Structure 1
């Protein structure tokens, strides 16, 4: 029996993009999956169409952007222009487009359904209209283009998902998109909670970017009365910023900045710690509604969590009893939350992560993708 064909289109290095890899693995068992994106082919696909690294998707024609000629901005996008000939002549039953920028091209290569919609599922990884709204130039010139993409193209997709309930509600309220939710959950890991260490071992892993405010974590670890250490495993997204953090903490008895570890090794690395920590100042609405993948990495590592008060993160922590929520996204508030932590708290929170690990795993949380893509594949044309 012929299997349906699925294109996973993502302007990211798919083989190392945790969210997109979960999609590939989910569907490769039942679909002939083609991927189109940067970098080498991920495992399990029947074909990979590699977009050149120098065809950067986020670069936009400045003059067209400043003069609000949005069609020209899209037409001149290097990633779209590079991917289009790679896809020429190919047909697919369903296209799964990752993030707003990929949706227009997905609509071009997907068949139309009898409903009039395109056979496209759009997975939106952020609340795109507000992703960098703290920057004036972004609010004035990029945000209108993103809103145009949403209204002109994403509304044509047969279905939509996003990463958190608050973001889904914002898309529903502002754009009429009936978005399902697939959180950035990590695959389930079969492990037991480790012992509580003395000093308590704090950890953070993720992007090394100034707008992640990692200095707050360093300051909190240095000033808290909790006997602790902090290890930061940082991707060198902004090498100068990471180097500055490394230089700043070079003489610290508590804080160490490490190179990142491969995602396949991340769970075992994190499992050697006690508490995952993170604050994300709400400088834009996207941050305010964020539910990052690192939260779920911490859970699968069976760590307790000490996080900032962003609504979605706080809800998850409180719903499952996973840890403590700081009163604000500041170094002072994070330090105060750590001051109150006891060894018994850490042991209880690690046990709570263990109890919630199955429910908060990618295997349990990815159902909305499967239902949406299967429904498109089965829809009349």
Structure 2
């Protein structure tokens, strides 16, 4: 317990830029209800944290040093699990602090969280399917996939509890590692908003997310180029950890297209208000990995809270939501033609109907249920339920 407040001390570990990680920010909100939260992550102190231990954002969270890569190649996974530069820095900044609970976000944080917990329970929020996070990249597939698989096999049974983004990926963990994880979707808070009017002769498309290679943003651009003049596309993209190089390629690709606009990124707490000005949220992602195949990204929930119609490429989890709530259309494929043809079938009247259905869905597709799961699991681990 914290000496100053008498409340449980909770350490939240994440190797993301924590102020841009909507899932972790929502997690911190719930943790802060139940204890004093110390965050250890890249970036500045986030809202809700009582204290923050900043990890040097220049340091990778995987063992990408020559020695680390050699150990990965030799399959000496126990020797390399704490060797990543960012993990060493986290151990340094945590020092001799002790906590009543440690929350490890994603598989790469499990070993170091177990190390700094010093015997306290560790809750693993796996987010997605760790072994094949980037299995479409050859180096990852050869070196990192076996390491992540080993980490899951070794540490998941040691976790006091576990969370995952959806039931489909939870099933993968159960079948492969024999663990049952609770589902916490990437839903946002309920927002009391109204759908904006769809103008005759105009359909305003929008996409938000990371400017990361493989996210198929080029496909969205190509699709819109082939659509009638009434369609416009606005992009709100967060630069990747590549000094904005990929974002620059996107910017260069649309300089000759006045119907496509690239905007600066907006903060997670401002995103829904910004999206509300548009009509249709769009996203396409080829199933290159299990995470892609079973995607349930936070953007679909952002679009719903913004009262937008949605058009997504097909995926079991998003297909189910779109069909169940009749709030959009599903592109049957992952190329520009599939997205173009699906969007071309939209009429202003149909978009109005979809937006109204999203307005109804917003009352159930929000974080109330998912936050309750986190609250229950953490409360049990702290003995405060």
> What interval of TM-score do these two structures reach, taking the shorter chain for normalisation?
over 0.9
Per-residue CA deviation, residues 156-193 of structure 1 (Å, 9 max, x unaligned), is: 10111111111111111111120111111122211111
SS in 2 for 1:307: strand
| 1:90 CA drift (Å) | 1.8
1:122 alignment counterpart: 124
Measure, in 2, the Cα distance between the counterparts of 1:240 and 1:39. Answer: 20
For 1:189 and 1:120, the matched residues in 2 are separated by 32
Q: Which residue of 206, 221, 225 maps to 1:222?
A: 225
1:207-262, CA deviations, whole angstroms, 9 ceiling, x for partnerless residues?
11221011110111111347210111111215232222222211113222222122
Distance 1:151-1:63 versus aligned 2 partners, 3 A rule: same
Q: Is residue 2:53 matched to residue 1:49?
A: yes
- C-alpha separation in 2, matches of 1:274 and 1:287: 25
Matched ranges for 1:302-341 at <5 A: 302-341=307-346
Q: Distance in 1 between matches of 2:311 and 2:137?
A: 28
Q: Given that residues 224 and 339 in structure 1 are in contact (C-alpha distance below 8 angstroms), is that contact kept between their aligned partners in structure 2?
A: yes
Query: Shift of the alpha carbon at 1:353?
Result: 1.2
The aligned counterpart of 2:297 is: 292
Q: Which residue of 1 aligns with 2:357?
A: 352
Alignment size in residue pairs: 374
Q: Name the structure 2 match of 1:115.
A: none
Give 1:194's match in structure 2, choosing from 193, 196, 215.
Answer: 196
* CA deviations over 1:260-311 (Å, ceiling 9, x no partner): 1222221111100000000000111111011111111111111000000011
Q: How many angstroms apart in 2 are the aligned matches of 1:307 and 1:44?
A: 33
Deviation at 1:80, TM superposition (A): 1.5
Cα distance, 1:102 vs. partner? 1.0
Q: How does 1:95-174 map to 2 (within 5 A)?
A: 95-110=102-117, 112=119, 119-174=121-176
Q: TM-score, normalised by structure 1?
A: 0.94
Partner of 2:238: 235
Deviations 1:77-130 (A, max 9, x none): 111111113223222111111111111122223365xxxxx6111001221111
Question: Is there any run of 5+ residues in structure 1 with no aligned partner, and where?
Answer: 113-117
Deviates more, 1:52-61 or 1:266-275: 52-61
| Range that drifts further, 257-266 or 187-196 | 257-266
List alignment gaps of at least 5 residues for structure 2: none
TM-score, structure 2 length as denominator?
0.93
